[in-house]
Amino acid sequence: MVIGSNQGHILFLEKTNNPLIPFISLRLISREIKPAKVVGLTFNNSQDYLAIAYNSNEIGYFYTNNIIDNLRNKNFTLKFELVCDGFHQGAITAMDVALQRPIIVTTSKTDKTIRIWNYLTGHCEYCKIILTEKDDSEKEMDILSLAIHPNGYYIAVSDKDMIRFFHLCYKEIRFYNNDSGNNQTPKSNCHLLKFSNGGHLLAAVSGKNVYILRSYSRETLKIFKTNHTGIIKNIAFDEKDYFLYSIGSEGIIIEYNLFELTM
C-alpha cells in the first residue's frame, strides 16, 4: 500500500497477518523541495511507475521496478523525478522579461517564490523564497512587485517596506551589493517596478507617486507626484528612454520627461 501526506511524504506499507497490526511501514520518502500536499497516487498498468500529483500543480513519479524487494534495503535509493514542475501554487502577481537573455521572472503572493523561466526551453530554471530579517528573525518576503534588468542578471524586488536588489547567478539569486554595501532602498509599498530599456534607470510606483532611481547607485533622481485619481495600473519607458508613461485606473495617461525630469 502507498499513502501520500499533506506534507508531500510518500509512505510504503506492507500488509501483515496480524489483525492488531494490519500494516507495517517499509519506507517513508520525503520531498527535497518545498512541501506540497499529495492529491493523487496511481500506478501504471504494469505497475513499474508510481505517479504522484501535488496541489502545487506538480506531477512526479517513481520507477518502481523491483521496488518491493528492495524497500527493506536502506542502501536502496528511490529516484524521484518531476514530470511537470516550476508552476506557482497560486496566481502570478508580477512578471517581467529580460531583453538580452531568454529569461522571464515571475512571483506569486500565494507561495512567495521568485521563479526564473527560460522561454526557449520552456523550463523553470530556478525557484527561491526570499528571506528577510524582521524582529530578530527571518521571514518569507511578501513580494509586491519585481523587475529584471535588460541584461538579465539583476533583479529589483519590492515589499511593503523597501526595494531590494539581487544578482541572478547560475542556479542562484544573491543579494546585490554596490560599493557602499547597500542592497536596498527604503521605498515602501511599491506595487510597480520597471527598468528602462538601457538599464540605467528604475521606475517605482508607490500609491500615486512615481520614483525615478539610478539603477546601480539607487540614488533617487525625482519623485513625481502624479495627477492620477485612481490606482496607477502600469508604467512603460519609450524605446529610447526619453520618456516614461503611466496609466491609471481612471484612464488617464501621464507623460514624464526623463531629461528635464518634468511632467
Model pLDDT for residues 81-139, shown as the tens digit of each residue: 776 667 787 889 999 999 999 999 999 888 888 989 999 988 888 888 887 776 667 78
Which of 55, 84, 113 is where one domain is finished? 84
- pLDDT at residue 196, rounded to an integer: 97
The better pLDDT of the pair 167, 11 is held by: 167
- Cβ 198 vs Cβ 241: under 8 Å: yes
CA distance linking residue 67 with residue 27, whole number of Å: 11
The better pLDDT of the pair 184, 157 is held by: 157
Q: Same domain for 193 and 243?
A: yes
Does some domain include residue 262? no
The better pLDDT of the pair 212, 91 is held by: 212
Q: Same domain for 69 and 114?
A: no
- pLDDT at residue 128, rounded to an integer: 84
Q: pTM for the whole thing?
A: 0.73
Q: Which helix H or strand E contains 232, and what residues bound it? A: strand 232-237
Q: Where does the pLDDT of residue 248 fall: very low under 50, low under 70, confident under 90, or very high at 90 and above?
A: very high
- 210's CB contacts (< 8 A; 6+ apart) are 203, 204, 223, 224, 226, 232, 235, 244, 246, 256
Q: What is the domain extent for residue 129?
A: 94-257
Q: Same domain for 185 and 155?
A: yes
**pLDDT tens by residue, 13-32:** 878 888 888 887 777 777 66
Q: Same domain for 135 and 8?
A: no
Strand order across the beta sheet in which 209-214 lies: 190-195, 201-206, 209-214, 220-225
CA-CA-CA-CA torsion for 133, 55, 145, 132, nearest 10 degrees? 10
CA distance linking residue 197 with residue 236, whole number of Å: 10
